[in-house]
Structure 1
């Protein structure tokens, strides 16, 4: 069958997707629908074998080779090459055997549509990238439409789309669908899930009179409906003006006629509620057949018969967790985003988190049947980590505590959760606080929290000595074996992941006391402190391991300045070359020795460092070398980070003195004590995560060495492939080394999924089990100072400067004084803060990581500014008001 020129829909096997290479995505789907008994107009497919012959005759190799060298951003060159390819294809006459096959199988008016092999796929729909021709009459006209379909594989938009999605132009072929024409009275598009909110129980239907082309092409403002699929009830309706109607002409082709009047919706919808309910039922059945939400084109003819003309997956929906129930609403909180990570995690990164989660779960009394699967509340979707917080949402205590914690860590998420409280599906089931109090008391006593908190309050130096002891003891436990079998290395990695989390309750109480003291001072200074004054107290806070890391890198830059030749090399050589020379050992000693010293202490850190599967700075120092070169460009001594840090500390002490004086008397003494303790203790908030990342670095090294062994044995292709396995995968392979399976195909599948998810630009903070993203439903919180963006005040002060939008800090360059605009941050971002003039962050709250570090450096900052990376562009002049939480662009300032 692989050399077939023509296949009728019912001849395409039921496993239609397996025929993709021969018939393309659209025809494969029509084959599935036809054989499943859905109302599809009869038709046939001219297979990709016909196109292959045309492409060979056209001689496209030279164009394809040229396209492989062009960037997705070079649109003029892409368009020029696309035009050349179209011309080559259009110049080739249709071979006679293909023409004969078409003439023998086509009768009456038909629609002629392209069906590419990279089209209507689960991860990329390619909707509208190739051409469609409607109401084509006569064999010669059909053959001409077929030729134009072949050429449309090379439209400007199709070439650009493939380039942007990393799809090899030489691997794509095109089949052509020829389908009996439905002379529609009503037609349109149906999504079997709400594409805006993600809700899987809703069908969204756009409808207009005449052919569906007017709706698909956007030429008409259609009637719009949202239908509840289970009941068939119309939940929302919006009538369009339907100014254009496209209908078939008797002799072939179509005509556009005007209907209605501009700006006014017709009073009567073009489709009845009964027809909408029937459409929703049919859509639900199609979705069930595919096991995924669908984007369906449909038509209703003059007899009232409903037809499906094509279907494709909806590729923009965020996937659901695999265990999401159908009838019991669950609320999932994205732990990845909470840690400042928009990108997906590697399979090993997720597996490590699952194992880590089992220890605290058991500590608080949650049964964990299998530590490798982790706490039962952990799940994943889109290669991101999610936590099922439904139980917290249905608890009176949970509703009180969780949003308050998020107010200072991720304020936007707190607002989303509060917006869910009225939902009757999340009614309270646990009203008494006693179970929570008993559990908290048991945990506090188990870890000795009261004693640790009292010690920290009475003598912060004791807290710091305790933290140093905890770190030293952990490092002893983490000491890796010099020689070990893969099984022993796995055991050490698993032991490390379990032990590391136990450091958190030994250090966190001291930081909690610091923040409690800050809260006490805030209460004591109500109506006394001015906006932003208490934030000033947290500038230049000592004992913050992340700040110490950034300043250590700055000190290295200062040391390099003393060596002009080394500095010249750093400023004039590419980062990749510098990194290669560091690995070779050929950098000047002033750079090599200092960098080696820095990496010995901080080399276990990385951008997106919570993902064990990603390289550490010690493995790939390119990012740190780039930041170091950036530091060397800062020439104003007064703007030096260490100078600013010291200035901030002095200002903080002055502010404490002033606030206590204004409070006066006993209250003033309490203010001085509380703010002093806050400065002494809040810096410890970064240490537990620093130690956890240390643990991840140790575990990663052991797993990497297992990967070296697996690669030598041919189980995987290269050592780093091991991070696309999970801990259970490795355990199974090392348990029976002589019969270990070939893991290469598993790695390939997971890599493909991971790389697709890398292209996803948006991850929901909160996701419901019916697919709804509550933030998409809620009113946008763009604020309304002349269209400005608003978020949460994170670090007081105002700065006007040039914006630099950075989505990934790896290799990013920030001119001194530029304002950093980013989705979120983790410690891997913070070296950029030292030269930033200000910070705007889409995620976070007043005490999120980025906010804390910005305050310590005295950088005006606004966090939780939704949509900042989309509404602000690099080079734009913006003003960041860190006191009021407002970001103004140049036209608003």
Structure 2
């Protein structure tokens, strides 16, 4: 039936057809992803069946002269991913045109020459957008197995060309933002392996993410039965470090795919194999070892197709990167546990390289504050790592410390509740056994820090005069702005020096000893009142005290934006264009007068803020006001005066005052009553200051961004980077190298490509172990009614309404009363809260940013709801119970 795949195919002479042995990974544009991988593996000496590749030059020659094809593809590009009917209609028209296109004689001859010397072959599509790091495109184009004869091979190649435009391929490209005009197709013609058994191998466990754990599915016959899901295969899990088979599960293997003499394949019933494995133990270990070689070559987990022929020879028929496992932080000794800091801050998206560098500098400031200065502030503190352009903090030392276990999970309970659950699940693992049992070193360090920064005195001052603390903090923000307001004559090197000095040595040391003790004192007073009122305290009552808080810079900003919307409406002005057009008119000074002047005043006060604002690389609202204008457009749709945000906020403040009076009256005894009155009063006066450390940081980052934009402009003018914004894709040492004359275009292009890939990533782990395991996947959630989701209660009350799932607030449309369902939120999201009926977040705890703001606005909220944005659909009617934490 098949030729021996070890026979060498003759080497073609044409660039229309190339031998796999002449192809490497750099030739993606000429041979597509599949052929580039097969050629690379062939050159690496791995057992790949011989074959040839019909290059994209042949596809281009066939298609470039087809009448009307370019116009049809332009129509596809212009079609929204959310319009599948039009996408599939246009895709069908392109396919029909390609199938009808004649194959030039020179191409036919080159394909025939490439096939010569082979018998039965597999003819596989190899697209230039395929087997990419962010999307494998597996199965999107066609494959033909056991093709025999020149005519059949040419027909199969023609079919592969047309399959670039299958409905599934077109919709997949549209969903992944791949330009249809930029995609070309090559075709692999490869000797068939007459396999007795075949299957697939993942070199990292795709379920747990665990590295060095090979997962093998195998079945008799051709591997198509396993790849297509036509069979229940044998399943093996192998520890590739030891060769131990950790798991063995036999499938029924009822369907067998095999070649037909003369060409083609058939599916037949396979009887008698259900009780025995189709692979021996030695073969399982050999397949896993082959996968380890491929993974080592590519330095990353691989999805591999393999086959074993009748003689027992193992062949590698395909390999592509595994796109579903999360990349790991830099390796360190032993098993480590990492917490995703940026995800906890409300960012599912990646940070720009300079945004990451900022946090390395800030981590040096934290280490300095704790009395543990680092040698190189640019490198950052030891516990800080990055992976997938996101920041992770090494929790291993915390897990091994008695004090760490006692303190950090409790902090997570109120800031990121689900992470606290995951962290506690690691306590019993032997790799994280306690090694620091004494509390004395930590207590002594805490005393030294408290003494050095006069923290007890600062707490006393805050308790005595909360408003003075607010004035002091406002003064710190103003001083930071002035510190970073440099004259135009300042050199680029001096600007960079000052930025590093401020971030590494001043920001943390200036604001944290002032703001953190005050806010902590507020929440401590709330907790003290709760203790004094037990057991006479009902669920949700203490949270009500925190509604309508004063001294919260974020809610002040949101209400200022609402007041601007009210003034625009009172003036009879209408904003009746899209946010982009309105932004253009604002820059031109042609908005209606109240809107123009009011927006200018708002941006003068709050223009340093942004969505995902902790990333220095993202524009501030003063640079790009489209988000603010989009929120103003949302506010125009609110016509119920009772639901107006300022009215709702004022009502929340009244409810808080009424609840405070109720709780004071409930206290037993005059002394206890006075203590509860004082505690609740200070809780309301100080708790709102929790937003200030981040606000101060954002003020600093906006000023730093202005300085580095000047540096970027200088580098772009000198031709060392492309545009001024490219500076945000470099770190400080690389900026210094550019200032010294180094060209950074290639590095920036690679960084932007990586950033774009990571922007497409939907899943980011809360906690990640250094072997790739995501421990959260092994946890079982608390019991909940059928169909309900459960999270952490964050803002008391119950609301029923239509859900609106929003992954990015920029340009988001939220109707008044809709329930906002989001991955997480930062201050850039909070203007949406003013018209939301309720809030559901995948991240966060009772005192995370979104929870605090929701309470202040009096909207029911549940946070830390795993998978909320995938389980809930926009338009679905849901009930959010912010007292019990249930969403039904």
Matches of 1:4 and 1:111 in 2, distance apart? 21
User: Is 1:67 aligned with 2:76?
Assistant: yes
User: 2:314 — aligned with what?
Assistant: 306
Matches of 1:393 and 1:683 in 2, distance apart? 31
Q: Is the 8 A contact 1:492 1:699 kept in 2?
A: no
Matches of 2:842 and 2:761 in 1, distance apart? 16
The match for 1:589 among 563, 581, 593 is: 593
CA 1:107 to 1:428, structure 2 compared with 1: closer, same or farther past 3 Å? same
CA 1:141 to 1:837, structure 2 compared with 1: closer, same or farther past 3 Å? same
User: 2:3 — aligned with what?
Assistant: none
2:177 is paired with a residue whose SS is: coil
User: Is 1:770 aligned with 2:778?
Assistant: no
User: Once the 2 structures are TM-superposed, how far is the Cα of residue 77 of structure 1 from its aligned partner?
Assistant: 2.2
Matches of 1:137 and 1:266 in 2, distance apart? 32
User: 1:797 — aligned with what?
Assistant: 797
Matches of 1:468 and 1:27 in 2, distance apart? 61
User: 2:395 — aligned with what?
Assistant: 389
Q: Is the 8 A contact 1:191 1:314 kept in 2?
A: yes
User: 1:891 — aligned with what?
Assistant: none
User: Is 1:324 aligned with 2:292?
Assistant: no
User: Once the 2 structures are TM-superposed, how far is the Cα of residue 712 of structure 1 from its aligned partner?
Assistant: 2.1
Greater CA drift, 799-808 or 70-79: 70-79
Q: Is the 8 A contact 1:9 1:43 kept in 2?
A: yes
User: Is 1:464 aligned with 2:464?
Assistant: no
1:831 is paired with a residue whose SS is: helix
Q: How does 1:59-458 map to 2 (within 5 A)?
A: 59=67, 60-104=69-113, 105-259=116-270, 266-321=274-329, 323-325=330-332, 328-458=334-464
2:257 is paired with a residue whose SS is: strand
1:372 is paired with a residue whose SS is: coil
Greater CA drift, 85-94 or 469-478: 469-478
User: 2:751 — aligned with what?
Assistant: 750
Q: Is the 8 A contact 1:58 1:91 kept in 2?
A: no
2:706 is paired with a residue whose SS is: helix
Matches of 2:559 and 2:695 in 1, distance apart? 16
User: 2:6 — aligned with what?
Assistant: none
Tell me the TM-score normalised to structure 2 length. Answer: 0.95
The match for 2:567 among 559, 574, 577 is: 559
Deviations 1:510-542 (A, max 9, x none): 111111112222223333111111111111111
Matches of 2:577 and 2:179 in 1, distance apart? 33
The match for 2:507 among 482, 500, 516 is: 500
Q: Is the 8 A contact 1:287 1:294 kept in 2?
A: yes
User: 2:4 — aligned with what?
Assistant: none
1:120 is paired with a residue whose SS is: coil
User: Once the 2 structures are TM-superposed, how far is the Cα of residue 728 of structure 1 from its aligned partner?
Assistant: 1.9
1:72 is paired with a residue whose SS is: coil
CA 1:62 to 1:576, structure 2 compared with 1: closer, same or farther past 3 Å? closer
User: Once the 2 structures are TM-superposed, how far is the Cα of residue 259 of structure 1 from its aligned partner?
Assistant: 4.0
Matches of 1:628 and 1:483 in 2, distance apart? 39
Matches of 1:634 and 1:592 in 2, distance apart? 21
User: Once the 2 structures are TM-superposed, how far is the Cα of residue 413 of structure 1 from its aligned partner?
Assistant: 0.5
Matches of 1:205 and 1:86 in 2, distance apart? 36
User: Once the 2 structures are TM-superposed, how far is the Cα of residue 258 of structure 1 from its aligned partner?
Assistant: 2.7
Q: How does 1:775-786 map to 2 (within 5 A)?
A: 775-779=776-780, 781=781, 783-786=783-786
2:294 is paired with a residue whose SS is: helix
1:859 is paired with a residue whose SS is: coil
Q: Is the 8 A contact 2:738 2:744 kept in 1?
A: no
CA 1:357 to 1:252, structure 2 compared with 1: closer, same or farther past 3 Å? same
Q: Is the 8 A contact 1:130 1:149 kept in 2?
A: yes
Matches of 2:539 and 2:412 in 1, distance apart? 21
The match for 1:550 among 549, 558, 572 is: 558
User: Once the 2 structures are TM-superposed, how far is the Cα of residue 25 of structure 1 from its aligned partner?
Assistant: 1.9
Q: Is the 8 A contact 1:480 1:492 kept in 2?
A: no
Matches of 1:406 and 1:157 in 2, distance apart? 43
User: Once the 2 structures are TM-superposed, how far is the Cα of residue 229 of structure 1 from its aligned partner?
Assistant: 1.1
CA 1:34 to 1:629, structure 2 compared with 1: closer, same or farther past 3 Å? closer
Matches of 1:731 and 1:667 in 2, distance apart? 62
Deviations 1:230-271 (A, max 9, x none): 12222233333333221222232111123469xxx9343332
User: Is 1:682 aligned with 2:687?
Assistant: yes
Matches of 2:647 and 2:191 in 1, distance apart? 76
Deviations 1:137-170 (A, max 9, x none): 2222222212212221221222222233333333
Q: Is the 8 A contact 2:134 2:758 kept in 1?
A: no
User: Is 1:692 aligned with 2:704?
Assistant: no
Matches of 1:112 and 1:577 in 2, distance apart? 50
User: Once the 2 structures are TM-superposed, how far is the Cα of residue 468 of structure 1 from its aligned partner?
Assistant: 4.0
1:197 is paired with a residue whose SS is: coil
The match for 2:52 among 28, 44, 48 is: 44
Matches of 1:167 and 1:427 in 2, distance apart? 47
User: Once the 2 structures are TM-superposed, how far is the Cα of residue 574 of structure 1 from its aligned partner?
Assistant: 2.2
Q: Is the 8 A contact 1:135 1:181 kept in 2?
A: yes
CA 1:166 to 1:641, structure 2 compared with 1: closer, same or farther past 3 Å? closer
| Superposition misfits of 4+ residues, deviation over 4 angstroms | none
Matches of 2:178 and 2:646 in 1, distance apart? 48
Greater CA drift, 582-591 or 658-667: 658-667
User: 1:539 — aligned with what?
Assistant: 547
Matched pairs, number? 871
Matches of 2:475 and 2:26 in 1, distance apart? 60
User: Once the 2 structures are TM-superposed, how far is the Cα of residue 783 of structure 1 from its aligned partner?
Assistant: 4.7
User: 2:724 — aligned with what?
Assistant: 719
Deviations 1:416-469 (A, max 9, x none): 111111121222221111121121111111111011112223443443344344
- Structure 2: runs of 5+ lacking an equivalent: 1-11
CA 1:602 to 1:307, structure 2 compared with 1: closer, same or farther past 3 Å? same
The match for 2:635 among 631, 634, 639 is: 631
Matches of 2:475 and 2:525 in 1, distance apart? 24
Greater CA drift, 461-470 or 722-731: 461-470
Deviations 1:43-81 (A, max 9, x none): 222223322322235453333333222222222222222
Q: How does 1:631-670 map to 2 (within 5 A)?
A: 631-665=635-669, 666-670=671-675
